[in-house]
Amino acid sequence: MNENTFVIDGTPIPFEPGQSILQAALKADVFIPHLCFFPGLKPNGSCKLCTVVVNGRPGSACTLLARPGIEVENNTPELNDRRRLMLQMLFVEGNHFCPGCEKSGNCQLQALAYELEMMTPHFNHFFPSRKVDASHPEAFLDMNRCIMCGLCVQASRDVDKKNIFAISGRGMASHIVINTPSGRLKESNFSSSDKAANVCPVGAILPKRRGFATPIGQRRYDSLPISTQTEFLTTRKA
């Protein structure tokens, strides 16, 4: 076996030193479900959807570096069961109403729920009371849909150099806060062309006045399952 190769579910995967298991897998057209990873940003490791088993030990594929010869379990019934359970957790902890959401069809959470055959949310919904901030001329913030992935926080801080978002609170009370005196987005220098405006895996940050430009049914994940779009997932800018 090549020096820079490891194995996922029996398939040899080449990698470049410094790549994570997730990066190498996607590059080799092997899909590992994930939500809080975005190409070009530092892996956050919080959603835990990409949890795989490496040489017998569970770990996050987005934060573990690929190493020669490691054996990774990924697409197994047991791991997919756990992933489905975590998706159900994400669906019940927030307020996700796909039919009325502009992100439907382009939403990674929804796409993964289809991919992993999540038929119901299973648990009682928490129905939390969360904020909507429509103050900014270019974008809505709908915290009902936020899954705490932290991508907007990082993109705004490290790419846009604006540091507009942060995660505050603890446990179930965790929430996004805005770095303005009033806590509202309109006082910030946020723009819909910011990286932060284009990394949200769900519909928590949505551009205004661009609703339903592509009809539902013709959107990214409507026609092809997310698991077949590995190239897009590694090269996307938005």
Partner 1 sequence: MSLVNSSVEGVLEPILERYLRNPHHLMQILRETQERLGFIPKWAVDYISEALALARTQIQSVIEFYAFFYDSPCGKYRILFSDNVTDRMQGNTALLARMLSRLGLSQGQVSGDGLVSIDTTSCTGMCDQGPALLVNNHAIPRLSSQRVDAICTLIKNQTPLEQWPSAFFSVEDNIRRKDVLLSAELTNGQALQRAIELGPQGMLAEMKTSNFRGRGGAGFTTGVKWEACRNAPGETRYVVCNADEGEPGTFKDRVLLNSYAELLFEGMSIAGFVIGASKGLLYLRAEYRYMLEKLQATLEARRKAQLLGKNILGQKGFDFDIEIHMGAGAYVCGEETALIESLEGKPGRPRIRPPFPATHGYLGQPTVVNNVETLAKATLIAQNGGAWYKGLGTKLSTGTKLLSISGDCDAPGIYEYPFGVRISKILEDCGARNAMAVQVGGAAGTCLARHEFGRKIAFEDVSTSGALMVFGNNRDMFEVARNFTHFFKHESCGFCTPCRVGTTLLCNLLDKIADGKATSYEMNELSRLHQLLKTSSHCGLGQTAWRPVYDTMQKFRPSYDRRLQQKDFEPAFAMDAALAPAREIMERDDADAHLGNEL
Contacting residues toward partner 1, per CB under 8 A: 43, 45-49, 51, 58, 60, 63, 82, 85-86, 89-90, 92-93, 123-124, 126, 147-148, 163, 165-174, 177-181
Sheet holding 71-73, edge to edge: 11-14, 5-8, 71-73, 51-54, 57-60
User: Residue type at 63?
Assistant: T
User: Cβ of residue 211: shortest distance to partner 1, in angstroms?
Assistant: 29
Q: How far is CA 179 from CA 130, 146, 186, 206, in A?
A: 18, 17, 11, 19
User: Cβ of residue 41: shortest distance to partner 1, in angstroms?
Assistant: 14
CA distance linking residue 196 with residue 135, whole number of Å: 17
Q: What is the token pair recorded at 225?
A: 């399952």
- 95/180 with CB nearer partner 1: 180
CA distance linking residue 130 with residue 150, whole number of Å: 17
CA distance linking residue 59 with residue 173, whole number of Å: 26
CA distance linking residue 212 with residue 219, whole number of Å: 10
- 41/167 with CB nearer partner 1: 167
CA distance linking residue 113 with residue 103, whole number of Å: 14
User: Cβ of residue 137: shortest distance to partner 1, in angstroms?
Assistant: 21
- 171/215 with CB nearer partner 1: 171
User: Cβ of residue 186: shortest distance to partner 1, in angstroms?
Assistant: 16
- 97/126 with CB nearer partner 1: 126
User: Cβ of residue 153: shortest distance to partner 1, in angstroms?
Assistant: 9
- 70/92 with CB nearer partner 1: 92
User: Cβ of residue 210: shortest distance to partner 1, in angstroms?
Assistant: 27
- 170/237 with CB nearer partner 1: 170
> 186: exposed, middle or buried (C-beta count within 10 Å: 0-12, 13-18, 19+)?
middle
